[in-house]
Structure 1
Amino acid sequence: MEGLVAIISDYGLKDHYVGTLHGAIKLISPDVQIVDITHNVRPFDLVDAAVKLKWSYKYFPRGTVFLVLVDPDPTAEPIIVTTERFFVVCPNNGVGSLMFEEEPPEKVYRINADHYFISGEGNFRGRNQLAPIAAELSRLGSARHFGEELEMSKLKRFRLPQPTEVSPGVVETIILDIDHFGNIVLNLEYNGKEPLYAEVAGKRIQKVKSSFAGVQKGELFLSVNPEGYFQIVAYMASAAQLLQAKRGMKVRVVFQG
């Protein structure tokens, strides 16, 4: 039975890259299922890709091969990471870090089985090297065929700044992501405790709601996104534009002290 390959990249949809990526996978595994999680990661942005993978992997069935092709460092060697339930094919650049905090890696393999690669000129290793590996891996269901096992210490990982309680009831966090709608997603998980308000870019957002019901167009309020993180949103408008907010900016969320 053919498996499933789920792809995250910064290729965009304007050019032929995504189409030929699909073609390269289908050449090897014609019956494999392909899911495009997103191809609109910010170019070369590992944090953006890591966030998208973290918020996606848990909705896929056991055995899924995640093919993550955000690749700012051409010296990062291609690897396969296995977890209890999944495979991740990617450059060794830390892109799986946030997923691995929740889904611990079990083994890491350096990909050296270049006989699987598509020959040709150019440096499009996402399509020519990693995609064929993902396709074969989806068929075989075992990573040991594709290279040598590495010590776990060789797997590159990074951590994001964690929320900090700077005074009683006042938590300082950062903007983790700004989504397609301009919603400002904070690096602060909802734990059942409702905030009083948030402060960002010198402005205070005092309304806290669980839905858009009863909100005026352009009105800002705090809510919780589908993945369980606090967000600042504006009904039928971009909160990020209204607040001139950018990813990485500090935000204070105030709770009852």
Structure 2
Amino acid sequence: MENIVAVISDYGLKDTYVGTVHGVIRSVNPDAKIVDITHNVRPFDLVDAAVKFKWSFKYFPRGTVFLILVDPDPSSESIIVSTEKYFVVCPNNGVGSLVFKEEPPEAVYRITADHYFIEGKGNFRGRNILAPIAAELAKLQSAHHLGEEIEISKLKRFRIPSPVEVSPGIFETIILDVDSFGNLILNMEYEGKEPKSIEINGVKIEKVSEKFSGFQKGELFVSVNPEGHFQIVAYMASAANILKAKRGMKVKVEF
């Protein structure tokens, strides 16, 4: 048993929030291995959290407990989702929507084992409720004693827009994510065929390259990110800044 708790949050690292969550997990489960996937999800941004979760979960071993702490709606239920390989502890707010397409839920539990909760001031569900449950779950590898099973249909989900073919060989896509390097990641995956061009904000980009070499600083080109999505890159610079682009902006892709 790996005894791993993998955490995604929008807490950032400036405050004490991440550290106290770690402390709670280790207090409940001293042998837990805590992996911080990211704490830089945009505040309250479920789409950003869902994308980061999708791009990371498959690299973890069976039995990993994912603790997802992006929580814009404190009224949502606290739940555990079990799949064939993993457990997810999170609010029922749709944050697992993309992952559950690839790793279907086998059961969903409303967390009821309040004797595991810790006392704390303020509204800090991540520390007081979800963290201790995730820590106990990593030990038990079973959710049966931690909650009441509910219908899988009660699991909230949302969809991310797909590319739309607006004319033969021409697709309207959107920027799905802007990474820390300023690369613009599209909601279109590479399926073996390179585009002729990508156009954004009136700028047409025709260079496509697998390698990040042989370019002038700031030169734009199209590549594929580690998770298989097309991305617009500026060599040794920020494509987002150069193109004045942000997430959700429309991009035309021609094949």
Give the TM-score normalised by the residue count of structure 2.
0.99
CA deviation profile, 1:62-92 (whole Å, cap 9, x unmatched): 0000000000001111000011000000000
Tell me, yes or no, if structure 1 residue 169 matches structure 2 residue 169: yes
- Contact 2:97–2:157 at 8 Å: present in 1 too? yes
Distance 1:222 1:78 in 2: 41
Q: 1:119 aligned to 2:119?
A: yes
After superposition, where does 1:1-257 map in structure 2 within 5 Å? 3-255=3-255
* SS at structure 2 position matched to 1:35: strand
- Within 1, Cα distance between the matches of 2:76 and 2:12? 22
Q: Can you give the 5+ residue segments of structure 1 that lack an aligned partner in the other structure?
A: none
What code does the residue aligned with 2:211 have? Answer: S
> 1:163-188, CA deviations, whole angstroms, 9 ceiling, x for partnerless residues?
11111110111100000000000000
Cα distance in 2 for residues equivalent to 1:186 and 1:130: 32
CA separation of 1:122 and 1:79: change in aligned 2, threshold 3 A = same
**Identical residues among aligned pairs (%):** 74
Instruction: Give the total of aligned pairs.
Output: 255
CA contact (8 A) 1:10 1:42 kept: yes
Amino acid corresponding to residue 26 of structure 1 in structure 2 = R
8 Å contact kept, 1:2–1:29? no
Contact 1:200 1:252 (C-alpha < 8 Å) held by counterparts: yes
C-alpha displacement at 1:120, in angstroms? 2.2
Q: Which runs of 4+ in 1 moved over 2 A?
A: none
Question: Match for 1:227: what amino acid?
Answer: E
Secondary structure at 2:98's aligned position in 1?
helix
**Cα distance between partner residues in 2 of 1:201 and 1:148:** 50
Within 2, Cα distance between the matches of 1:211 and 1:48? Answer: 27
The farther-off stretch of 205-214 and 68-77 is 205-214
Say if 1:83 and 1:107, in contact at 8 Å, map to a contact too. Answer: yes
**Cα deviation per residue 1:9-50 (whole Å; 9 max; x = unaligned)?**
000000111111100000000011000000000000000000
SS at match of 1:97: coil
State how far apart, in whole Å, the 2-side matches of 1:67 and 1:38 are.
11
Tell me, yes or no, if the aligned pair for 1:185 and 1:232 is still in contact at 8 Å: yes
Q: Structure 1: which amino acid aligns with 2:198?
A: A
- The letter for the 2-side match of 1:132 is P
CA–CA distance in structure 2, aligned partners of residues 187 and 59 of structure 1 = 21
How far 1:2 sits from its partner (Å)?
A: 5.9
Contact kept in structure 2, 1:176 and 1:248, CA below 8 Å: yes
Distance 1:78 1:218 in 2: 45
TM-score by length of structure 1 reads: 0.98
Alignment partners' CA distance in 1, 2:237 and 2:106: 43
Which residue identity lines up with residue 143 of structure 1 in the other structure? A
Partner amino acid, structure 1, of 2:73? D
RMSD (CA atoms)? 0.8
Kept in 1, the 8 Å contact 2:2–2:64? The answer is no
Residues 8 and 67, structure 1, Cα contact 8 Å, conserved in 2 = yes
Q: Cα deviations across residues 134-183 of structure 1 (Å, max 9, x unaligned)?
A: 00000000011111111111000000111111111101111000000000
Cα contact 2:50–2:96 (8 A) shared by 1: yes
Measured in 1, the distance between the counterparts of 2:217 and 2:102 equals 37
